[in-house]
Structure 1
Amino acid sequence: MRLRFLAFLLLASGFGLSSASQEDSPRIGDPYFHSSGAWGQDFRDQWAFDAIGLSDPYVVWDALGESPSPVIVAVIDTGIDWNHLDLSWGSLWTNDNEIIGNGIDDDGNGYVDDRIGWDFLAGTNQPWDYDGHGTFTSGLIAAEVNNGIGMTGLNPYARIMVLKAVNNFGRTRTAYVTDAIRYAVDNGARVINLSLGGPSALELETAALDYAAQNDVLVVVAAGNEGQDLADYAFVNHPAVITVAAIGRNGERSTYSNWGPQVSIAAPGEDILSLRARATDTLMNITDAYKPGSAIVGPDKRYYRATGTSFAAPFVTGGASLLWSRNPSLTANQVRQALLQSAKDIGASGVDQFTGHGALDIGAAFAADPNASIVAEISSVHVVQSTDGPAAEIIGTATSDRLEIYRVEIGQGETPSSWKPVAQGRSSVTNAALATVSASEFAGASVWTIRLIVNRTGGTSQVTLYRLSLG
Structure 2
Amino acid sequence: MKNYKIKCSLPVLVTFFTGALLASITGSSLAGSANHKTLYLQNKAKLKLNTNTQITIANANAMFAANRDIQGRKIYKDTELIVRFKPTISQSALTLTVNQYGSISGKKLSFSNNKQFNVVKIKSGESIHQVYARYKSDPNVISVTYNYLFYALALPTDPRFGQQWGLRNTGQSVNGVSGASGADMGLQLAWDVQTNCSSVVVAVLDTGINYTHLDLADSIPAAMQALMRDFTGADPTVPGVSAYPQAGHESHGTHVAGIIGSRANNGLGTAGVCWQSSIMPLRVLNEDGAGSTSSIAEGIKYASANGAKVINMSLGVKIGPQFTVADVEILSVAMDDARTAGVVVVIAAGNDNTDNDLTPVYPCNLPHDNIICVAAMDQNRALAEFSNDGKTSVDVVAPGTNVLSTLPGISLTVANANTGWTGSNVAGPWAEGVCSFVEFGVLNANFLLNPSTFCADIPGTYSNTANDVIYKGFNLSVFSGAQQVSAVGLLSLDLEVDTSVSPIVFDEFTIMASPGTANPFIAATGAATTYFGSTNGSLFEGTFAVASDCYIATCTIGFRLRSILTATTVTGAGVGISLLNFVSLSNAPGVGAYEYFQGTSMATPHVAGLAALLLAKNPNFTYLDTINAIKNGGTLVPAFNKTTSGRAVSAIGAMRYTAAPTGITVSVAAP
Q: What TM-score, normalized to structure 2?
A: 0.45
**Residues 354, 257 of structure 1: alpha-carbon distance in 2 compared, 3 angstrom cutoff:** farther
| Structure 1 partner of 2:45 | 10
- Give me the CA root mean square deviation: 3.6
| Structure 2 partner of 1:117 | 228
| Structure 2 partner of 1:226 | 352
- Counterpart of 2:336, as a letter, is D
Q: Distance in 2 between matches of 1:159 and 1:225?
A: 28
Q: Which runs of 5+ in 1 are unaligned?
A: 14-24, 97-113, 374-400, 405-471
| Structure 2 partner of 1:157 | 276
Q: Distance in 2 between matches of 1:199 and 1:227?
A: 12
Q: Distance in 1 between matches of 2:301 and 2:582?
A: 34
Deviates more, 1:178-187 or 1:201-210: 201-210
Question: Are residue 290 (structure 1) and residue 404 (structure 2) matched?
Answer: no
Q: Distance in 2 between matches of 1:251 and 1:38?
A: 15
**Are the aligned partners of 1:272 and 1:307 in contact in 2 as well (CA < 8 Å)?**
yes
Question: Are residue 187 (structure 1) and residue 316 (structure 2) matched?
Answer: no
| Structure 2 partner of 1:209 | 335
Q: Secondary structure at the match of 1:190?
A: strand
Question: Are residue 251 (structure 1) and residue 381 (structure 2) matched?
Answer: yes
**Residues 40, 224 of structure 1: alpha-carbon distance in 2 compared, 3 angstrom cutoff:** closer
- Counterpart of 1:344, as a letter, is T
**Are the aligned partners of 1:73 and 1:161 in contact in 2 as well (CA < 8 Å)?**
yes
**Residues 248, 287 of structure 1: alpha-carbon distance in 2 compared, 3 angstrom cutoff:** farther
Q: Deviations over 1:406-428 (max 9, x none)?
A: xxxxxxxxxxxxxxxxxxxxxxx
Q: Which runs of 5+ in 2 are unaligned?
A: 1-11, 19-41, 49-153, 165-171, 320-326, 410-483, 490-528, 533-539, 544-579, 584-590, 666-671
Q: Distance in 1 between matches of 2:240 and 2:611?
A: 27
Q: Deviations over 1:136-181 (max 9, x none)?
A: 0000011111110101111123210010000121111011011000
| Structure 1 partner of 2:648 | 359
| Residues 265-276 of structure 1: pairs in structure 2 closer than 5 A | 265-276=396-407
1:257: Cα distance to partner? 1.1
Q: Distance in 1 between matches of 2:530 and 2:608?
A: 24
| Structure 2 partner of 1:333 | 624
Q: Deviations over 1:104-142 (max 9, x none)?
A: xxxxxxxxxx71310111224343453200000000011
**Residues 229, 93 of structure 1: alpha-carbon distance in 2 compared, 3 angstrom cutoff:** farther
Question: Are residue 144 (structure 1) and residue 263 (structure 2) matched?
Answer: yes
| Structure 2 partner of 1:75 | 204
Q: Secondary structure at the match of 2:388?
A: coil
1:188: Cα distance to partner? 0.4
| Residues 119-138 of structure 1: pairs in structure 2 closer than 5 A | 119-121=230-232, 122-123=234-235, 124-128=238-242, 129-130=245-246, 131=249, 132-138=251-257
Q: Secondary structure at the match of 1:312?
A: helix
**Are the aligned partners of 2:485 and 2:582 in contact in 1 as well (CA < 8 Å)?**
no
| Residues 410-425 of structure 1: pairs in structure 2 closer than 5 A | none
Q: Secondary structure at the match of 1:339?
A: helix
| Residues 317-328 of structure 1: pairs in structure 2 closer than 5 A | 317-328=608-619
Q: Secondary structure at the match of 2:608?
A: helix
Q: Distance in 2 between matches of 1:194 and 1:282?
A: 29
**Residues 213, 326 of structure 1: alpha-carbon distance in 2 compared, 3 angstrom cutoff:** same
**Are the aligned partners of 1:73 and 1:193 in contact in 2 as well (CA < 8 Å)?**
yes
1:207: Cα distance to partner? 0.5
**Residues 217, 294 of structure 1: alpha-carbon distance in 2 compared, 3 angstrom cutoff:** farther
**Are the aligned partners of 1:246 and 1:270 in contact in 2 as well (CA < 8 Å)?**
yes
**Are the aligned partners of 2:226 and 2:240 in contact in 1 as well (CA < 8 Å)?**
no
| Residues 45-124 of structure 1: pairs in structure 2 closer than 5 A | 51-54=184-187, 56=188, 59-64=189-194, 70-88=199-217, 90-92=218-220, 94-95=222-223, 115-121=226-232, 122-123=234-235, 124=238
**Are the aligned partners of 1:69 and 1:324 in contact in 2 as well (CA < 8 Å)?**
no
Q: Secondary structure at the match of 1:290?
A: strand
Q: Distance in 2 between matches of 1:71 and 1:210?
A: 20
Q: Secondary structure at the match of 1:330?
A: coil
Q: What TM-score, normalized to structure 1?
A: 0.63
**Residues 403, 167 of structure 1: alpha-carbon distance in 2 compared, 3 angstrom cutoff:** farther
Q: Distance in 2 between matches of 1:81 and 1:277?
A: 6
Q: Distance in 2 between matches of 1:53 and 1:39?
A: 18
**Residues 35, 342 of structure 1: alpha-carbon distance in 2 compared, 3 angstrom cutoff:** closer
- Counterpart of 2:331, as a letter, is E
Q: Distance in 1 between matches of 2:17 and 2:582?
A: 17
Q: Deviations over 1:71-106 (max 9, x none)?
A: 100000000111112112x3116548xxxxxxxxxx
Kindly indicate whether structure 1 or structure 2 has the higher relative contact order, using CA contacts under 8 Å at least 6 residues apart.
2
1:344: Cα distance to partner? 0.9
**Are the aligned partners of 2:634 and 2:654 in contact in 1 as well (CA < 8 Å)?**
yes
| Structure 2 partner of 1:455 | none
Q: Deviations over 1:263-313 (max 9, x none)?
A: 0000011110000112697999997742448899xxx97111111000000
**Residues 282, 365 of structure 1: alpha-carbon distance in 2 compared, 3 angstrom cutoff:** farther
Q: Deviations over 1:430-470 (max 9, x none)?
A: xxxxxxxxxxxxxxxxxxxxxxxxxxxxxxxxxxxxxxxxx
**Are the aligned partners of 1:10 and 1:307 in contact in 2 as well (CA < 8 Å)?**
yes
Question: Are residue 173 (structure 1) and residue 303 (structure 2) matched?
Answer: no
Using the aligned pairs only, state the percent identity.
30
Q: Distance in 2 between matches of 1:34 and 1:372?
A: 37
| Residues 344-383 of structure 1: pairs in structure 2 closer than 5 A | 344-348=635-639, 352-354=641-643, 356-369=645-658, 371-372=659-660
Q: Distance in 2 between matches of 1:235 and 1:282?
A: 34
| Residues 236-247 of structure 1: pairs in structure 2 closer than 5 A | 236=364, 237-240=366-369, 241-247=371-377
